[in-house]
Chains A and B, each alone.
Chain A
Amino acid sequence: GAGVSQSPSNKVTEKGKDVELRCDPISGHTALYWYRQSLGQGLEFLIYFQGNSAPDKSGLPSDRFSAERTGGSVSTLTIQRTQQEDSAVYLCASSPRWGVGNTGELFFGEGSRLTVL
């Protein structure tokens, strides 16, 4: 598709279960970001990928959170043993590699809303 695609759009899970959130970036975009958006908290940076490597994963809140990216394209954010405080909207964004035709704009998906009961 033309834009960043995220799935699922909504996920309701029970506390303690594992969840996987998927992001399909714009074709050709080598940079990929995950952000978490909680009510009143703005966008919290989680992790940044350049290609398949993650040079900055400093925003992952705990070792229950992990992310990978394969083929320089699709990324999966995994949350293990979910807790109620993990409830949020998880946003994915992509952009061309910085400095190479990059205007600085991030292209966002519509997000995956996670609710942990």
Chain B
Amino acid sequence: AQSVTQPDIHITVSEGASLELRCNYSYGATPYLFWYVQSPGQGLQLLLKYFSGDTLVQGIKGFEAEFKRSQSSFNLRKPSVHWSDAAEYFCAVGGTYKYIFGTGTRLKVLA
């Protein structure tokens, strides 16, 4: 069955610290992989996506993610977190039209 797992429901980091949000997926074929961010009261915004090619992808706001096929993972990273990064982050997997989302990781940033 197709699924996405985000094992961390909440993560708290200090401003300026590095960040890694975990995402594991189960998908029968080569997946398309996405990270979205949702700020309070807002819709979801695409941070980055992986379709093929280079397994390290760069996104907006200084985020990057690495696709590791052997581990079925697509973890999101940022070297130095800013207070404005506090939000909820969703990993998603898709193929053709259907997208499956994880349950999200809520990021809190301490000043």
A108 touches B43 (CB 8 A): yes
A4 touches B97 (CB 8 A): no
Query: B83 in the interface, Cβ–Cβ < 8 Å?
Result: no
Question: Quick one: closest A residue to B100, CB to CB?
Answer: A45
Interface size for B (C-beta < 8 A) is 25
A110 touches B100 (CB 8 A): no
A42 touches B103 (CB 8 A): yes
Residue pairs across A and B with CB atoms within 8 Å: the count is: 53
Which residues of A55-113 have CB atoms within 8 Å of chain B's CB atoms?
56, 91, 93, 98, 103-106, 108-111
B96 touches A108 (CB 8 A): no
Q: How many A residues are at the interface, by size bracket?
A: 20 to 34
Q: Give a binary string over B74-111; 1 marks a CB under 8 Å from any A CB, 0 the rest.
A: 00000000000000001010101111111110000000
Given contacts A42-B102, A42-B104, A105-B49, contact A50 B97 (CB under 8 A): yes
